[in-house]
Amino acid sequence: VLYCCWDCFRVEMVCCACILQWHAHNPLHREWHSTFFVQVSLKLLSLHIQPGHNPGEKSSGNDFVVIDIHGIHKISLDFCGCETAQIHYKQLIRAQWFPATATNPQTAATFALMEFFHLLTFESKVSAYKFYHSITRRTDNTSTTPIRVCLHQY
């Protein structure tokens, strides 16, 4: 099975191992499965993210949602548990992800998304509701896949 990244400059189709290697530092890109050209998440391809550690280190990975300019991503995230590790929300902030809560975060928004929203509110007066729904449309414009984010955390 071959995969193609929707967000990378590269256009070639590559195997699962190569797509995971390419995206160790870009975990929020959208991938396409070559057989049917359907969107597949890097989480389903077994990409695990561990803030504060090198990509590729094995971890269990908890379910986590990241809202980015590219869309809403469900990822496997394993917080650093080393003796010198920072608390969870600080690990996210260092990765430039703003957590929805300070205690037990399960959702975060990227700094890039917040900056983009900030600029749009100045120029176009877009509401947070409309902006969020634009991001859900960017995630799945067909509305065939339910998009669930714990909005009560915000």
Q: What is the mean pLDDT of the chain?
A: 78
Of 114, 113, 87, nearest in space to 102 by CA: 87
pLDDT tens by residue, 10-33? 667 778 788 777 777 677 766 666
- Contact indicator for 74, 68 with CB cutoff of 8 Å: no
Mean pLDDT of 87-100: 91
Q: Rounded to whole angstroms, how far apart are CA atoms 59 and 31?
A: 22
pLDDT tens by residue, 114-132? 999 999 999 998 999 999 9
